[in-house]
Amino acid sequence: MLCQRCQERPATIHLTKVINYEKTELHLCEICAKAAGNELGIMIEPNFTFQNLIAGLLDGDFLYQQPGMVGELTCRNCGLTFTDFRNQGLLGCGECYHAFQASLEPLFRRVQGGTVHTGKVPRRTGGRVRLLKEMEQLKHQLQQAVAREEYEKAAQIRDEIRRLQQQL
């Protein structure tokens, strides 16, 4: 898609405004967007990175240090403080997830919609994981079938669970 202003360069900035249920879109190249920045009320960050995005999300009020805690949260492994994480948008090591867990959960819920991974597992590497997940779902269905007194369906689900257990 070409820039709507210059019609020369590819559009890399895509703006969408919705005012009174009326949607308008504007597709600009970086040069035209910078030139029209003040006019459009936008600011184009020249070195925008994923870390900048996370740091921007961390400026919200939903990230907090647990109430009643004395001092600042600090990772015992790498020494990163929670304030440093908020400013940089980068964790220092894998232990930071445990050190800042209570404060990170609201961020994960906001960005990912939850705190448990529910995505796909590659077929070639996740055979066992896929079977375990399928068994977990079947056990839940089995409980629901028994609760509804659908015993024939429950027996079918039970047999399917046994078949999967044999595959493991």
User: What's the rounded mean pLDDT across residues 149-155?
Assistant: 93
Please say if the pLDDT value at position 36 is more than 60.
Answer: yes
What pLDDT, in 10s, does the model give residues 45-58?
Answer: 555 566 666 666 65
The answer to whether 64 touches 44, Cβ cutoff 8 Å, is no
Give residue 128's pLDDT.
77
The bridge status of strand 13-19 relative to strand 22-28 is antiparallel
Q: How far is CA 116 from CA 50, 105, 133, 160, in A?
A: 21, 10, 13, 26
Higher-pLDDT residue of 25, 33: 25
Tokens at 77, concatenated: 């492994």
Distance between CA 12 and CA 61 in Å, rounded? 30
